[in-house]
Amino acid sequence: MSVIKAFPISDCIGSIKLNICSLGTLRSALLAIVAMLFLAPHAQADRGMQALRKGDYETALQIWIPIAEQGSARAQYNISVLYEKGLGVRRDEARAIEWLERAAKSGSRSARDRLSDREAQERLRAAKERASHGNAAAMMEVANLYNDGKTLTRNMAKAHLWFSKAKAAGHPVAANALMRLEDSMTRMEIVKARKAAAALDTDAVEQVAYRAHGTPD
């Protein structure tokens, strides 16, 4: 007849305690590793900023490149600024935009805002270029960009000026747009804006419109 050997209950409890302790230690180690992985890019980004403040742009770039490649939106954004300003690298607009787009995709709100601002500034530049050739529709576009406050900071004085230019160039809805704008302006703002509009060389504006489109409507 075989005899079943019994283990002391104290040994079992000790074994359970050991296993629990081992699991706790393992869990703590895993959490520490995760924390290190999460915090490392932030710490490196801070090191890069310290180098930047000292004017050591090349070191800042060397610090930021690896974590930017790993997906750090903050590093990607900072690199775009270096390329935009030509700090520590040759100024490169294309690469600045490339890194800015990557930062935006990685979740940087600042990058998204800067991209929107760049797009608005490009629209404004292109519209002003067309407006310089007497294009009344382009003048209205410039006025609306200044007026809507969505893509550019709202500037009612400039909007008023460009609506006035569009009106002088014969745009069919410029007068109504001008009246709606004045409804949202103070009396003093209107007086100043009208003085600026009165200083326009209206005859020259109309002549440009005539050469571009024939007699303005």
66-114 tens-digit pLDDT: 999 999 999 999 999 999 999 999 999 999 999 999 999 999 999 999 9
Mean pLDDT score across all residues of the chain: 80
Distances in whole angstroms, Cα of residue 29 to Cα of each of 15, 20, 33 = 21, 14, 6
Task: Provide the 10 A C-beta neighbour count for residue 92.
Answer: 14
Dihedrals phi, psi of 42, to nearest 5 degrees: -65, -40
Q: Which residues contact 95 (CB under 8 A, 6 or more apart)?
A: 80, 83
Q: Which residues contact 140 (CB under 8 A, 6 or more apart)?
A: 162, 163, 166, 171, 173, 174, 177
Distances in whole angstroms, Cα of residue 213 to Cα of each of 37, 136, 177 = 64, 9, 21
Global confidence as pTM: 0.59
Low-confidence ranges of the chain (pLDDT < 70): 1-41, 201-217
